Structure 1
Amino acid sequence: MINNFTSDTFKGNIFNENLLNELSIIAEKNNYIDPMYYSKYDVKRGLRNENGTGVLVGLTEIGNVHGYTTSDGKRIPDQGRLEYRGIDIMKIVEGFQTESRYGFEEVAYLLLFGELPSKKRLEEFKYLLGECRILPDGFTEDMILKFPSNNIMNKLQRTILATYSFDSNPDDTSIKNILRQSIELIARFPTMISYGYQAKAHYHGNQSLFLHIPKQELSTAENILYMIRSDNQYTKTEAEILDLALVLHAEHGGGNNSAFATHVVSSSGTDTYSAIAAAVGSLKGPKHGGANLEVMNMVDNIKENIKAWDNTAEIRDYLIKILNKKANNGSGLIYGMGHAIYTLSDPRAVLLKEKAKKLAIEKDRLDEFNLYNNIEEISKDIFAELRGNDSISANVDFYSGFVYDTLNIPRELYTPLFATSRVAGWCAHRIEQVASEPKIIRPAYKNIKLDEKYIPLDNR
């Protein structure tokens, strides 16, 4: 009986390896659907149309991603454009950088409320974020340190769900309550990932444990650098470029996987913590939030296999090997190049690359930045020559990993940083879903299994 089991029962592998192999073969065989059926029934695989565009499933006013125009059903490449609430990201970044201030808090307000804040409103909003950064009493000890995880995204997801238990009104789905929960989550994500990282480094890496209390007067970017570093020290350039990275990752339309997950889960009427935890689970997937790690691993591989970082001919030869599945991980992909929507340019990559160069000069890593630049430019030429694709460009992931590495941010924090930025967009999409669309999202799946007879146990 189940009550005869103890916690020790599950510490080892209770599965016989041969049995597990047999069961996995059965499971895979009986869950595989022949691709021909997708064509037969005109299934929009991945919710994509035949020309690669996304199937229209909803409306939004939060973010807009533009990378091409269409004519006669064909995609025509165009310069990339990203808008938050109808405002070009280039103009937003120019606005706060010209005034020498941090921009993430302003962007979070814009996404949540649909309008730019006045100076007074922005100060009020920043004060709210500052007040909410510290986790509830006992939370750090009971929910983070007692259950450290080797994966910070997994830890973040569990931490969000645990926050439900510390909320006196968790299930109220009024806009007012969701807004309060959203502001608290945006404020607490930096603390959650910083403490999650420190717990991992201590309990899984045998390092000293540093738990720095967030400071109310610091920006989100400053607080992250303050909390993850043992000495709390950072430069203004470091904080500015991290702030820019947060701004550029905060939102990317309603069709990206994690934002869509937020819409789907929110449409069921569930609580905020369940919806945002689902988005984190989506972002954890390597096809979504882990792309910059793949770029870093690829560049590490390139460094190991070329003799000179400035030898463009050698770089070109090796990139061709990567495309031909003869180098790196055999995937045939040059990570960080290309995007589902952007074609001629990704505005996020354009903005981040400019700052990345300045940071590289400050950190004496200009040679490495030039290697990235060479990989980008040579990849464009290779795709044009070998694949006939002259409308491919670097995406934001191509340079974000380099930026984080130059900031001495551990790689296991790259995707959690993405989540810390994107939670502002997720919360905006949740509010929009609840306010605008009462219907639960329920797409159709066609059952193609033929009728089977039930066979008595002794006859199987």
Structure 2
Amino acid sequence: MDNEQLRKTLSDSVAFTSNIDKDLFTKMGVKRGLRNEDHSGVLAGLTRVGDVVGYERQPDGTLSPVPGKLFYRGMDVEELVKGIQQENRLGFEETTFLLLSGRLPNSEELKAVEHLIARTMPLNHRATMNIMALKGGNIMNILARSVLELYTYDENPDDISPENLINQSINLIAKFPTIIAYAYQVLRHDQMGRSLHIRHPYEDRSVAENFLYMMKGRDSYTELDVKILDLALLLHAEHGGGNNSTFSVRVTSSTETDTYSAIAAGIGSLKGPLHGGANIKVQGMLEDMKQNVNDWTSQSQIDDYLTKILNKEAYDRTGLIYGIGHAVYTISDPRAILLKEMARDLAKEKGREEEFAFMELIEERAVEVFLGFKKSTAKARTCINVDFYSGFVYDALGLPPEVFTPLFAMARIVGWSAHRIEEMNFTSKRLIRPAYKNVRERQSFIPMNER
């Protein structure tokens, strides 16, 4: 048997060996995807980091949709954002302090954390050269490999004391923007034949501004660009312990492995198109609709095309309207509301108001068309999620699609770090080890000459 025949034999076996009757899940009470029958998540742990609210459970056990709320350390994110905006400040570094410490910083603490993150952003020469040597078209993979490499530069990589976990967290939060920006510059040079720009981050600028500078250069961004990128980072920084990438970090951390291995697991999870890769899909869908809807103000044309998407007759033929629906949020996603407010200002500054109005109409019609198509009830309403506008924002900032998902990681590293620290410091730690029921019938060994 040659290699090709062997591969075919093994692949042909997959259909049989991996097939499990779906009825068995119900019969044996298995919660597929760790979801209950009402689609709520199975309670798998306790946390004091973040909370995601999209429904309320009634006395009879049923779920009632409520306007979405997101809490960081018990603080409503809407209140956090509005408070920072009223004082005309950036908020990502402040949010970092809040999520890591559990409280808001005073002015002296805020200046200290801003300075520490900015001062820690530069990569050493060896790390920079290693990024330049890495090949591949997906920056998430380069990010994961670079994070694992940072283990080798850490003098105490396996120390899981609270003090060292904080040191490692700050280091990763600061290094992510630089790794991502450099990885894109190398990709741009290697695969697009463009000039290679490796810019050293400023030591007195915010994470948001430094990222724009390292990506685009000096005088290539506006004050509003910095503010809206900072807002996007703030809104993506944390989303409860049950989202797939954070849960991956917590599961991995429960083994008491090192920080770099745990965070690399989170990056691998976030890369998936059903998780962090969704904003690219939204942007692709919107570009497709701009080409195929002749009148951007026509409700009927938009409805018709959205129906084609649902019928798997348009765009990528998956039947999905990207940017619509969420595992927890039902009536509204608070992140989408907050980002949309500033995105309107960005659209005006960039001369993209017509496109933004088109998106707003798609938002309105997509929810209605989806509900009609699924014949859903009012209790099963859906809403747009933050991905619907984040792709537009990044595109309007002049950022390439290759960094859309890495930007998500650049923000979420804060939440991952907070959850890892919490997982490592429970009073009674326990390895996360759920059970799987084996439903394969038994078989006996057959001697080679009888097979």
TM-score by length of 1: 0.94
* Corresponding residue to 2:192 among 201, 205, 215: 205
Structural mapping, 1:205-284, within 5 Å: 205-231=192-218, 233-284=220-271
Moved more, 223-232 or 161-170: 223-232
**Alignment-derived partner of residue 123 in structure 2:** 135
Are 1:448 and 2:442 counterparts? no
Once the 2 structures are TM-superposed, how far is the Cα of residue 338 of structure 1 from its aligned partner? 1.1
Give the whole-Å Cα distance in 2 for the aligned partners of 1:21 and 1:304.
Answer: 41
Structural mapping, 1:398-413, within 5 Å: 398-413=388-403
Give the whole-Å Cα distance in 1 for the aligned partners of 2:271 and 2:205.
Answer: 28
Contact persistence 1:149–1:196 (CA under 8 A): no
**Alignment-derived partner of residue 289 in structure 1:** 276
**Alignment-derived partner of residue 34 in structure 2:** 47
Aligned residues: 445
* Corresponding residue to 2:49 among 49, 58, 62: 62
Are 1:168 and 2:148 counterparts? no
Give the whole-Å Cα distance in 1 for the aligned partners of 2:193 and 2:8.
Answer: 35
Give the whole-Å Cα distance in 2 for the aligned partners of 1:375 and 1:233.
Answer: 31
* Post-superposition CA distance 1:325-361 (Å, at most 9, x none): 2222222211111111111110000001111110000
Letter in structure 2 aligned against 1:363: K
**Alignment-derived partner of residue 69 in structure 2:** 81
* Corresponding residue to 1:123 among 111, 114, 136: 111
Structural mapping, 1:312-327, within 5 Å: 312-327=299-314
Identity of aligned residues (%): 49
* Post-superposition CA distance 1:432-456 (Å, at most 9, x none): 0011151100000111222211112
Query: Secondary structure at the residue paired with 1:296?
Result: helix
Give the whole-Å Cα distance in 1 for the aligned partners of 2:124 and 2:100.
Answer: 24
* Corresponding residue to 2:338 among 348, 351, 372: 351
Contact persistence 1:85–1:111 (CA under 8 A): yes
Letter in structure 2 aligned against 1:299: L
* Post-superposition CA distance 1:129-182 (Å, at most 9, x none): 1121011232111x2011232110000000000000111110111111111000
Give the whole-Å Cα distance in 2 for the aligned partners of 1:289 and 1:381.
Answer: 25
Letter in structure 2 aligned against 1:408: G
Gaps of 5+ in 1: 1-14
Give the whole-Å Cα distance in 1 for the aligned partners of 2:8 and 2:340.
Answer: 47
Gaps of 5+ in 2: none
Once the 2 structures are TM-superposed, how far is the Cα of residue 18 of structure 1 from its aligned partner? 4.9
Query: Secondary structure at the residue paired with 1:326?
Result: coil
Give the whole-Å Cα distance in 1 for the aligned partners of 2:351 and 2:377.
Answer: 35
Query: Secondary structure at the residue paired with 1:260?
Result: helix
Once the 2 structures are TM-superposed, how far is the Cα of residue 457 of structure 1 from its aligned partner? 2.1
Query: Secondary structure at the residue paired with 2:425?
Result: helix
Give the whole-Å Cα distance in 1 for the aligned partners of 2:191 and 2:274.
Answer: 26
Letter in structure 1 aligned against 2:103: E
Letter in structure 2 aligned against 1:442: R
**Alignment-derived partner of residue 105 in structure 1:** 93
**Alignment-derived partner of residue 141 in structure 2:** 154
Letter in structure 1 aligned against 2:417: C
Give the whole-Å Cα distance in 2 for the aligned partners of 1:289 and 1:341.
Answer: 16
Moved more, 229-238 or 357-366: 229-238
**Alignment-derived partner of residue 309 in structure 1:** 296
* Post-superposition CA distance 1:238-296 (Å, at most 9, x none): 00000000000000000000010011000001000000010000000111001111111
* Corresponding residue to 1:397 among 387, 392, 404: 387
Moved more, 338-347 or 222-231: 222-231
Give the whole-Å Cα distance in 1 for the aligned partners of 2:14 and 2:382.
Answer: 39
Give the whole-Å Cα distance in 2 for the aligned partners of 1:157 and 1:321.
Answer: 37
**Alignment-derived partner of residue 164 in structure 2:** 177
* Post-superposition CA distance 1:364-410 (Å, at most 9, x none): 00011011100010112223433234422111000000000111100
Moved more, 197-206 or 223-232: 223-232
Once the 2 structures are TM-superposed, how far is the Cα of residue 19 of structure 1 from its aligned partner? 4.0
Contact persistence 1:148–1:196 (CA under 8 A): no
Q: Per the alignment, do residues 232 and 389 of structure 1 end up closer, same or farther by CA in structure 2, a change over 3 Å counting? A: farther
* Corresponding residue to 2:405 among 400, 415, 423: 415
Give the whole-Å Cα distance in 2 for the aligned partners of 1:231 and 1:74.
Answer: 54
Once the 2 structures are TM-superposed, how far is the Cα of residue 232 of structure 1 from its aligned partner? 5.3
Query: Secondary structure at the residue paired with 1:278?
Result: helix
RMSD: 1.3
Give the whole-Å Cα distance in 1 for the aligned partners of 2:164 and 2:15.
Answer: 44
